[in-house]
């Protein structure tokens, strides 16, 4: 028996030791791979800068999960995701870099994942690049609307002979889950303030309400007008002609795209390579042109030459990213945790090196309590130093709540903002319980003691209590906007009601101060704080070391079956809808946010 126990103990100890050594060795290997990644890549003379249109250009580089960190450590920086500021800086430097002779916008299968607001800022950087006289070559097998929005700035725009240009307007599509919940026996009750406050609508209806349809139509109209205007600026085609194409054709065959001025010419891939070899001064047809990807070029940037101020300055502009739904508590990756962001703003307030703060908001809103926690800290921050808000693709409802106390608010014309309203969401499983034979009983000391139960729908008395809370927060919402934005209360009331607005409409309504991108906000922060050129930019939250991020989620990877289209798209839409329900964690069940998901195509 003693020998048996000794063998068991020895085996267990061996397994533990093996695991520790194995995991430790793996971690060391990964860290070593990260440290041994090529440093300081060289850019050859007469190089072509390549911008892959399959890139997802996001607001920040800080939102990188452990899986992405692992891939970067083993393979070097990928080309699938880059930060907006890095891309803009790279294009600005490349325009003045004698080693770069041109830019290649390289088409990719499928559509671009980058949001329109970020595409607009990248396009403005491309326009600056074009003004230097350097050519921009854009080529794709098929042009989608997003790709064309960016590529229309090119000096030479081509399409494959068997390709097509899709230019059929915008549509918004939402998956409605009322029938699904009914089948499951799950009840949903929504209490809202604001005739246009459509959040929760997808859970209790089978189609858009008239008010929601109206606001979506207006918002899409503004975004589409921007696309028509921007896409026609460098093309021999008018916005009216593009609208005619969208109304009557939608998809242009290759020859039609040329004849109607949408593209300059048709070209095979080899013809494009010949053109790039010519720009790269390569005469040998068998030799490839000199090229550098945007991701690689970013690694070579000289920090002293970027638009991020002066290296070594002890006067800091803090750029804080607030991306994702607003949730109570700390939040997770790609969420705005109310406590976490408030703590970050508090740290910046007491940091004497920080002279101004730019808050980049890209959020549909969320928890009312968490939004207010953030806003209270922003008010205290503004008392100490200038605060400028830059709105990304979306800064709505709670996203607007956390922005309104800033000194100035800047949005892109196609930003989705507004949605000034409040709602409450309650679920119950009464019908499901009957189906599965589950019964409930309760003992209580007052009529409202069991108001939070999910065993039944809320009573009229309980709903009245919720309505009082929702109305109170809504009145506070519009009053705060009136105060911070210096607008008459009746004017705020007219643009509130939960209605969404484009950035250009929000500027007209007084909800934002001016139109522009992230760089506009940074420049304004430096000007407001009277920093001149003596400042440096620091981004928050700061990216943690790779090893720390990897260890945090060492065993967190998973595999997933990919369904054939269009089933995969439908599955992803449903996953998004259901996963976002997990962000509804306000302690009082009160929310400021836009509908669960609006898919715009």
- Model confidence at 303, pLDDT cuts 50, 70, 90, reads low
The answer to which of 116-130, 275-289, 486-500 has the lowest mean pLDDT is 275-289
Looking at the predicted structure, is the pLDDT value of residue 74 above 60? no
- Model confidence at 313, pLDDT cuts 50, 70, 90, reads confident
The pair of three-digit structure tokens given for residue 3, joined into one six-digit string: 């020998």
- Model confidence at 590, pLDDT cuts 50, 70, 90, reads low
Domain topology for 308-550+560-600? 2-enoyl-CoA Hydratase; Chain A, domain 1 (3.90.226)
Mean pLDDT of 435-445: 93
Residues of the chain with CATH 3.90.226.10: 47-167+249-299, 308-550+560-600
At residue 268, φ and ψ (nearest 5 deg) are -80, 165
The predicted structure's pLDDT at residue 34: 46
Mean pLDDT of 560-585: 56
Domain topology for 47-167+249-299? 2-enoyl-CoA Hydratase; Chain A, domain 1 (3.90.226)
pLDDT tens by residue, 339-395 = 999 999 999 999 999 999 999 999 999 998 999 999 999 999 999 999 999 999 999
Greater model confidence, 40 or 585: 585
Largest CA distance in the chain: 91
Q: Which of 47, 293, 397, 482 is catalytic?
A: 397
Place of tokens 């459509």: 198
The predicted structure's pLDDT at residue 111: 79
- Model confidence at 549, pLDDT cuts 50, 70, 90, reads very low
Looking at the predicted structure, is the pLDDT value of residue 566 above 70? no
The predicted structure's pLDDT at residue 557: 39
Mean pLDDT of 167-172: 93
- Model confidence at 577, pLDDT cuts 50, 70, 90, reads low
Look up 45 and say whether it is catalytic. Answer: no
**Nearest Cα to 41, choosing from 371, 297, 222, 288?**
297
Three-class SS of residue 6? helix
The predicted structure's pLDDT at residue 283: 81
- Model confidence at 334, pLDDT cuts 50, 70, 90, reads confident
pLDDT tens by residue, 186-200 = 999 999 988 898 888
Looking at the predicted structure, is the pLDDT value of residue 40 above 80? no
The predicted structure's pLDDT at residue 584: 66
Mean pLDDT of 469-478: 93
Looking at the predicted structure, is the pLDDT value of residue 33 above 70? no
Look up 96 and say whether it is catalytic. Answer: no
Q: How many helices (H) and strands (E) does the chain have?
A: 22, 25
Mean pLDDT of 63-78: 51
- Model confidence at 417, pLDDT cuts 50, 70, 90, reads very high
The predicted structure's pLDDT at residue 1: 47
Place of tokens 């949005």: 411
The predicted structure's pLDDT at residue 11: 53
The answer to whether the CB of 69 falls within 8 A of the CB of 30 is: no
Looking at the predicted structure, is the pLDDT value of residue 560 above 70? no
- Model confidence at 516, pLDDT cuts 50, 70, 90, reads very high
Cβ neighbour number for residue 292 with a 10 Å cutoff? 21
pTM: 0.83
The continuous run of DSSP H or E covering 19 comes out as helix 2-35
Mean pLDDT of 282-288: 80
CA angle 108, 113, 118 (to 5 degrees): 115
Q: Mean pLDDT highest for which of 70-79, 261-270, 585-594? A: 261-270
User: What span, in angstroms and rounded, lies between the C-alpha atoms of 192 and 473?
Assistant: 11
The predicted structure's pLDDT at residue 311: 77
- Model confidence at 35, pLDDT cuts 50, 70, 90, reads very low
Q: Which of 197, 375, 385, 458 is catalytic?
A: 197
Looking at the predicted structure, is the pLDDT value of residue 38 above 50? no
Percent of the chain at pLDDT exceeding 90: 67
């Amino acid at each position: 028996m003693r020998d048996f126990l000794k063998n068991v103990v020895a085996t267990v100890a061996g397994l533990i030791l093996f695991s520790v050594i194995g995991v430790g060795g793996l971690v060391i290997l990964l860290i070593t791979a990260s440290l041994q990644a090529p440093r300081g890549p060289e850019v050859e003379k007469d190089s072509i800068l390549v911008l892959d249109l399959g890139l997802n250009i996001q607001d920040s580089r800080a939102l990188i999960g452990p899986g992405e960190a692992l891939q970067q450590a083993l393979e070097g920086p990928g080309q699938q995701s880059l930060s907006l500021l890095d891309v803009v800086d790279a294009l600005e430097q490349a325009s003045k870099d004698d080693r770069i002779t041109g830019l290649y916008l390289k088409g990719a299968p499928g559509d671009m994942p980058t949001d329109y607001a970020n595409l607009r800022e990248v396009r403005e950087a491309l326009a600056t690049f074009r003004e230097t006289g350097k050519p921009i070559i854009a080529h794709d097998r098929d042009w989608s609307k997003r790709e064309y929005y960016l590529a229309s700035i090119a000096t030479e725009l081509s399409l494959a002979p068997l390709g097509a240009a899709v230019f059929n307007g915008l549509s918004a599509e939402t998956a409605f889950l009322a029938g699904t919940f009914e089948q499951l026996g799950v009840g949903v009750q929504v209490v809202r303030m604001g005739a246009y406050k459509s959040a929760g609508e997808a859970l209790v209806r089978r189609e858009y309400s008239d008010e929601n349809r109206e606001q979506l139509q207006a918002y899409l109209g503004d975004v589409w007008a921007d696309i028509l205007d921007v896409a026609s600026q460098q093309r021999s085609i008018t916005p009216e002609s593009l609208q005619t194409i969208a109304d009557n054709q939608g998809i242009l065959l290759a020859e039609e795209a040329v004849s109607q001025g949408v593209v300059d010419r048709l070209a095979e891939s080899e013809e494009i390579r010949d053109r790039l070899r010519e720009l790269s001064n390569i005469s040998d047809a068998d030799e490839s042109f000199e090229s550098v990807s945007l991701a690689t070029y970013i690694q070579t940037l000289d920090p002293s030459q970027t638009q991020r101020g002066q290296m070594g300055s002890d006067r800091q502009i803090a750029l804080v990213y607030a991306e994702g739904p607003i949730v109570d508590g700390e939040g997770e990756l790609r969420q705005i945790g109310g406590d976490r962001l408030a703590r970050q703003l508090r740290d910046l307030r007491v940091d004497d090196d920080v002279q101004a703060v730019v808050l980049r908001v890209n959020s549909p809103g969320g928890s009312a309590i968490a939004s207010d926690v953030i806003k209270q800290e922003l008010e205290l921050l503004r008392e100490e130093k200038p605060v400028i808000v830059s709105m990304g693709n979306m800064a709505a409802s709670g996203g607007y709540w956390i922005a309104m106390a800033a000194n100035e608010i800047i949005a892109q014309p196609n930003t989705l903002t507004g949605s000034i309203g409040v709602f409450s969401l309650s679920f119950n499983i009464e019908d499901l319980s009957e189906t599965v034979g589950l019964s409930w009983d309760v003992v209580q000391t007052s009529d409202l003691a069991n108001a939070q139960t999910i065993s039944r729908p809320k009573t009229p008395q309980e709903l009245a209590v919720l309505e009082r809370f929702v109305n109170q927060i809504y009145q506070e919402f519009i009053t705060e906007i009136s105060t911070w934005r210096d607008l008459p209360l009746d004017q705020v009331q007219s643009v509130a009601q939960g209605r969404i607005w484009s950035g250009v409409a929000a500027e007209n309504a007084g909800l934002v101060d001016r139109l522009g991108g992230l760089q506009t906000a940074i420049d304004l922060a430096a000007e407001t704080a009277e920093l001149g050129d003596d400042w440096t930019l620091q981004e928050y939250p700061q990216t943690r070391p790779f090893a720390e991020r990897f260890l945090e989620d060492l065993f967190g990877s998973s595999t997933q079956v990919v369904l054939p289209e269009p089933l995969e798209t439908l599955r992803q839409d449903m996953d998004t809808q259901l996963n976002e329900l997990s962000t509804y964690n306000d302690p009082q069940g009160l929310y400021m946010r836009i509908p669960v998901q609006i898919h715009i195509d």
